[in-house]
Amino acid sequence: MRVCFILEGCYPYVYGGVSSWTHHYIEAMPDVEFVLWCIGANEKQRGKFKFKLPENVVEVHEVFLDSAVNTTASKRQIRKMKLTPTQKLEVRNLFSGKECDFDVLFDMFQNKEVNPASLLMSSEFLQILMKQCEDNSPYTAFSDYFFNVRSMLLPELYLMTGDIPKADIYHCTSTGYGGILGSLGKWKYKSPLIVTEHGIYTREREEELLRAEWVLPFMRQQWIDLFYNFSSCAYRHADVVTSLFNGARKIQGEIGCDLAKTQVVPNGINYENFCDIEDKEDNGFVDIGAVVRIARIKDIKTMIYAFAELKIRVPNARLYILGDVDDKEYNKECRLLVDQLGIKDIIFTGVVNVREYLPKFDFTILTSISEGQPLSVLESFAAKRAVVTTDVGCCRELISANDGFGEAGLCVPPMHKDLLADAMATLATNPGLCKKMGENARKRAKAFYTQKMSISQYREIYQQVMNTGKMYEQGRNI
């Protein structure tokens, strides 16, 4: 079996939850050949992998969004650029907020009728854009509208022109640009497509766009609509759409996915790698671990503010922040904040072996603004460590599941430093409670969140879509 794994902004270029999941997933299926189709932001990332690829990765195809600006077209190509009425409609739908038939666009760009440059510089496109601007943004300077729409469309149109690795199954980990490539593979080779969402990609991009300073206010909704169009494309082409918990599955349905396609497959961790970790030895400190990338969505600043309050109440507390730097500017801001507040005992470790550090901690924390089903929480559970989390994704369900095992930590609202400090103080000053919650956590991890369980479900999905495809081919040949 040959599976094309489509990865956007994660493995093998950066560390983090989805990257770790991908690496362990591939390792756990040594009998499957994996082709990686990796989408990165910058060409300078090419070949710079942070993981040693498993032996069953047989091909790697890299594509970078910033390469889109290098697409060119001759004056002759631009003059010859002609679109059918259907093509004009779908080009307009792509940036107007209306649902788009991506198969029309796939056919345009894969058959080399047009390329992004010849389209976006043509009089045909100019007429479409002028009409759209007149209808929907009559008080916007057309030059601003033109260049903003052009920057919106160029990356995805560029992706549609590339070569497509052939595979028995396409499996993408997002509904964004990765969803476009997964749908393109399905369109080209009629192989099954599986979409796995660790978080709800469209909602996460919407949250980012609402806060982004680089997005002009009059373009904000169009950018949001574009990513909803991407999710519609991925959901429509997918044979199976998985999520990590029922709440996420419900959201998939709300934003347009046919619930008959959906399945819940919880994350799984290598339980055996953590289950022998014993209680921390008393060293006179309350040691707290945060296994997290340095990124804005992880809200490290609230963590720092909350720890500053905790130090007033628990002077012997120490905080270890374990993880790679995802955002260099944000990393500088966080370290400057530590200096400005004059906080002692915050240690930034960088990338480390989490298995080696967990025995040092009394409990762990996670302060994200958005999550799915965090692997760091599950690994802490397996290590018998209680966790303080923000109430995002399925974190509350992990902490307080109605499964008879009891509370495995404390859950607080996101971006609320006072309640976060209170929760940390509760565990820091009640070692008996902290230990009991850790015991509950380990039982929950063993019962529901092992890698063996997760991989078994995905193997069943692979077999399911392969069998469905064979039945379809047999029926077509009759």
402 and 300 belong to one structural domain: yes
141 and 176 belong to one structural domain: no
Paired with 388 in beta bridges are: 365, 410
> Which residues form the domain of 123?
71-153
Nearest-CA neighbor of 314 among 280, 279, 350, 362? Answer: 362
Residue-wise pLDDT tens digits, 11-25: 999 988 899 999 999
Tokens of 68: 């889109």
296 and 344 belong to one structural domain: yes
225 and 330 belong to one structural domain: no
The reply to whether 474 falls in a domain is no
Residue-wise pLDDT tens digits, 404-436: 999 999 999 999 999 999 999 999 999 999 999
Cα(89)–Cα(101) distance, rounded to whole angstroms? 9
Is pLDDT larger for residue 144 or for residue 33?
33
Residue-wise pLDDT tens digits, 201-254: 999 899 889 888 888 888 899 999 999 999 999 999 999 999 999 999 999 999
8 Å CB contact between 6 and 193: no
The reported pLDDT for the residue numbered 207 is 86
Cα(94)–Cα(176) distance, rounded to whole angstroms? 14
289 and 405 belong to one structural domain: yes
176 and 259 belong to one structural domain: yes
| Domain stops at, among 249, 264, 279 | 264
Which residues have a Cβ under 8 Å from the Cβ of 133 and sit 6 or more positions away?
A: 140, 142, 145, 146
The reply to whether 468 falls in a domain is no
Residue-wise pLDDT tens digits, 340-395: 999 999 999 998 999 999 999 999 999 999 898 999 999 999 999 999 999 999 99
The reply to whether 320 falls in a domain is yes
| H/E element, 365 | strand 363-366
The reply to whether 358 falls in a domain is yes
The reply to whether 386 falls in a domain is yes
281 and 406 belong to one structural domain: yes
The reply to whether 475 falls in a domain is no
| H/E element, 339 | helix 328-341
The CATH number of residue 194's host domain is: 3.40.50.2000
Cα(191)–Cα(6) distance, rounded to whole angstroms? 14
Q: Predicted confidence band at 473 (pLDDT cuts at 50, 70, 90)?
A: very low
Which residues have a Cβ under 8 Å from the Cβ of 389 and sit 6 or more positions away?
A: 365, 366, 367, 368, 374, 377, 395, 396, 398, 399, 409, 410, 411, 412
Give me the number of domains the chain comprises: 3
The reply to whether 478 falls in a domain is no
What percentage of the chain carries pLDDT values higher than 70?
Answer: 98
For residue 471, pLDDT over 60 is answered with no
The reported pLDDT for the residue numbered 76 is 86
The reply to whether 60 falls in a domain is yes
330 and 441 belong to one structural domain: yes
Which residues have a Cβ under 8 Å from the Cβ of 215 and sit 6 or more positions away?
A: 209, 223
177 and 250 belong to one structural domain: yes
